[in-house]
């Protein structure tokens, strides 16, 4: 604890203070609406449980904690992301100190890189399942090395807690434990730990933490497990399109120069045996290269979201700092160092551009409006306000939509933040969390507003649940640069009840 306090009064402490203050300030004044995923997880937080349809419960718990003590605002929903993102920087810095004998320079470079990479910058103010995953992965990296180094049971127990919390954040965290055991197996100097209780206590603690979520899934048809298994199904995507799209996505989120340099130095280090001979470098490599290679192979068979391998880069960034600053590469060392420093500079500039993106977009010619990556974060508040105005003329109505994105955004941005319901058909399988929540019986006999996208048709099944249905109006949401979203609003009277499930 004394060392931690000492570091807070070091250049690193000043860096973190400036970074944290900037992120909090940016979050307060950022012009973005909640993304559909953020609004969806916020809606989960109003119904706290041990599990949800597609993901473990941690994101809902954290949002619920923030909104319990603050109003349910955009700021409150995203506040945990600021703390978690800053926590990642802390963990990487102290991991560098533990691995490399208190080398503050390596720690600062690793921390700065984690703050400058556009991917991690975005997830420092966008609250989805990824910020808690990144934090608990980074924390597990730190605790894992301390447990291996000190070989004491309490550290293995702490690692189990971090691992369990990570699995309750996102399923990707499950990969950490076999990688941890794999490191012990591949390390002759630490292989004896596999004959001690420590590593298995880690797994036991994580399993105990996951048990309530498993019980929840058992009671709900194992919906999360089936949803997760879908990500590993072969889609028959033609090679090399899916592969090139994955590699291009990684270069984009890590920045091309740093990504290329990381791949090159890691491959060269493995070829020379450098990364296997040194235990500290082996540790960082195990948690980066094998899982990234696994996702790379998966990209040959199906579309891969660019953020899926993001936690693996956390050890990779520290590894790159070591390879770029400390490793002697014979005739290439000076060139690699220059490229590394140039890559960091470009990453920092791109990070600044990411934060400044709203102002950049305003200055785009309309013909480039389709390039706007923030489109999903725009227009939802306006939609909520307009539907609220319509609802004022029909104060007893409840609201229905077909898409979970619209349902969650309306629930958040409509006046009073009412419950909004998703119609998914009478016999269709569960596709979202909304199909797991019953429709209250007290809705029977009431009026409803049905909000559809312009291209959607009112389902006859849904219309038949009302004694009368009529078209009310068209709602247009101006997104700037000549863009707009159009919604259709219907009124339904005399609701007969949901035929598939209606709760108490």
Angle between helices 130-150 and 74-99 (to 10 degrees): 20
Bridge partners of 469?
Answer: 492
Q: How far apart are CA 18 and CA 38, in angstroms?
A: 26
Residue 444: left (phi > 0), alpha (psi -120 to 50), or beta? beta
Predicted confidence band of residue 19 (pLDDT cuts 50, 70, 90): very high
Question: Which residues make beta-bridge pairs with 471?
Answer: 490
What local confidence, expressed as pLDDT, does residue 330 receive? 66
CA 456, chain centre distance (Å): 29
Give CA–CA dist 113/317, Å, rounded.
7
pLDDT value at residue 186: 95
Domain ranges for the chain, please list them: 2-211+235-355, 379-503
Better-predicted residue by pLDDT, 26 or 364: 26
Q: Residue 249: count other Cβ atoms within 10 Å of its Cβ.
A: 17
Beta bridge partners of 417: none
Q: In this predicted model, what pLDDT tens digit does every residue of 409-460 receive, in sequence order?
A: 999 999 999 999 999 887 667 889 999 998 998 899 999 999 999 999 999 9
Confidence class for position 247, pLDDT limits 50, 70, 90:
confident
Which residues does 249 contact at the CB level (< 8 Å), separation at least 6? 304, 306
Residues 181-239 have pLDDT tens digits of 999 999 999 999 999 999 999 999 999 999 999 999 999 999 998 888 776 665 665 56
Residue linked to tokens 């809902």:
60
Residue ranges in 287-419 assigned as alpha helix (H): 289-298, 313-325, 333-355, 357-362, 380-392, 404-413
- Bridge partners (DSSP) of residue 502 are 439
Mean pLDDT of 313-329: 87
Q: Give residue 356's pLDDT.
A: 83
- 384 pLDDT higher than 60: yes
Q: Residue 27's pLDDT is what?
A: 93
Alpha-helical segments (H) within 30-57:
36-45
Query: Which residues lie below 8 Å from residue 50, measured CB to CB, with a gap of 6+?
Result: 57, 212, 213, 215, 216
Confidence of residue 96 (pLDDT cuts 50, 70, 90): very high
Q: How far apart are CA 421 and CA 440, in angstroms?
A: 10
Q: Is 395 exposed, middle or buried (0-12, 13-18, 19+ CB in 10 A)?
A: exposed
């Amino acid at each position: 604890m004394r060392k931690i306090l000492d570091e807070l009064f070091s250049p690193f402490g000043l860096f973190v203070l400036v970074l944290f203050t900037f992120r909090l300030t940016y979050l307060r004044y950022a012009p973005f609406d909640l993304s559909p995923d953020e609004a969806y997880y916020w809606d989960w937080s109003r119904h706290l449980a041990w599990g949800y349809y597609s993901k473990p419960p941690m994101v809902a718990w954290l949002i619920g904690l923030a909104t319990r003590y603050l109003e349910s605002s955009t700021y409150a929903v995203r506040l945990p992301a600021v703390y978690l993102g800053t926590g990642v920087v802390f963990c990487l810095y102290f991991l560098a100190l533990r691995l490399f004998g208190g080398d503050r320079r390596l720690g600062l470079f690793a921390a700065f890189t984690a703050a400058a990479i556009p991917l991690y910058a975005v997830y420092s103010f966008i609250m989805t399942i990824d910020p808690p995953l990144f934090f608990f992965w980074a924390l597990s990296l730190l605790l894992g090395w301390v447990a291996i180094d000190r070989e004491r049971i309490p550290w293995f127990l702490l690692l189990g807690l971090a691992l369990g919390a990570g699995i309750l954040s996102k399923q990707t965290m499950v990969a950490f434990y076999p990688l941890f055991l794999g490191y012990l197996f591949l390390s002759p100097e630490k292989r004896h730990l596999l004959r001690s209780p420590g590593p298995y206590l880690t797994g036991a603690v994580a399993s105990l933490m996951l048990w309530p979520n498993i019980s929840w899934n058992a009671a709900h048809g194992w919906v999360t497990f089936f949803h997760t298994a879908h990500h590993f199904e072969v889609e028959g995507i033609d090679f090399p399109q899916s592969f090139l799209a994955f590699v291009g996505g990684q270069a984009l989120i890590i920045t091309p120069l740093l990504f290329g340099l990381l791949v090159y130095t890691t491959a060269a280090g493995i070829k020379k045996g450098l990364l296997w001979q040194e235990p500290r470098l082996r540790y960082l490599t195990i948690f980066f290269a094998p899982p990234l290679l696994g996702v790379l192979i998966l990209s040959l068979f199906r579309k891969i979201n660019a953020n899926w391998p993001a936690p693996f880069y956390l050890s990779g960034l520290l590894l790159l700092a070591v390879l770029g600053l400390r490793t002697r590469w014979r005739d290439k060392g000076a060139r690699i160092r220059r490229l590394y420093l140039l890559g960091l500079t470009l990453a920092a500039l791109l990070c600044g551009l990411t934060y400044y993106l709203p102002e950049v977009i305003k200055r785009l010619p309309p013909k480039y409006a389709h390039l706007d990556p923030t489109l999903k974060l725009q227009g939802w508040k306006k939609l909520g306000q307009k539907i609220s105005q319509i609802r004022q003329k029909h104060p007893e109505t409840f609201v229905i939509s077909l898409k979970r994105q619209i349902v969650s955004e309306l629930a958040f941005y409509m006046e009073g933040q009412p419950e909004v319901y998703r119609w998914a058909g009478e016999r269709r399988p569960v596709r979202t969390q909304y199909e797991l929540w019953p429709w209250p019986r007290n809705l029977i006999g009431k009026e409803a507003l049905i909000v559809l996208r312009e291209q959607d048709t009112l389902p006859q099944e849904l219309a038949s649940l009302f004694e009368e249905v009529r078209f009310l109006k068209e709602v247009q949401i101006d997104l700037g640069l000549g863009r707009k979203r159009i919604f259709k609003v219907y009124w339904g009277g005399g609701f007969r009840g949901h035929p598939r499930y209606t709760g108490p």
